Amino acid sequence: MLRALIVAATLAVATLAACSNPSATTAFRATDITGADYGKGLALSDHNGTQRTLADFRGKVVTLFFGYTQCPDVCPTNLATMAEVMRQLGPDAERLQVLFVTVDPERDTQQLLAQYIPVFDPRFIALRGDAVQTAAVAKEFRVFFQKSGDTSGNSYTVDHSTGTYVFDPAGRVRLYVKHGETADNIVADIRSLLAGK
């Protein structure tokens, strides 16, 4: 009898824990960072010159990637993958906002970003700030970036973090997607978040 009561109590506690944690019953493909105490916000200009914050996209799943236009590999690969994600989502793509934050505001002007980002998908938004704003946003999201190569001129490269943050429609950071993840897996996670998981 006592053993049965202990088992029942344990099950009740587990059930309550699952109800209070929205990701407890969802097996995401990406790393679940629900409840993270960083990545709470940003305020940057988009490639059309409009000031943006994460609150502007409330009601949508948001993906956030840090990169730069002259990146030779990681950045265009990431953006091409996200374009495929949009294609696979079909009508649900309207409930996803892809954001690209430049870590190279010195060369990535508003005009250049306005030419670059729509090539992948016209619904994507590029964001930029000055050097101080960029450093602050990178710190908030624990993103590393640093010029390398010939930093005396304009032919440098930028070493940077390569993962993507994913926010749920309520504006909470939920997932961290490692570079190289498949579009199929990203789509599955986005569909879970759109379903309220």
Only one residue has tokens 């897996």, namely: 185
Q: Write the DSSP assignment of the chain as a string of letters.
A: -HHHHHHHHHHHHHHHHHHH-TTTT---SSEE-TT-SS----EEEETTS-EEEGGGGTTSEEEEEEE-TT-SSHHHHHHHHHHHHHHHHGGGGGGEEEEEEES-TTT--HHHHHHHGGGT-TT-EEEE--HHHHHHHHHHTT--EEEES-TTSS--EEEE---EEEE-TTS-EEEEEPTT--HHHHHHHHHHHHTT-
Instruction: Count CB neighbours of 54 within 10 A.
Output: 19
The residues near 83 (Cβ < 8 Å, ≥ 6 apart) are 120, 121, 124
Binding-site sequence positions for Cu cation: 71, 75, 160
Binding-site sequence positions: 71, 75, 160
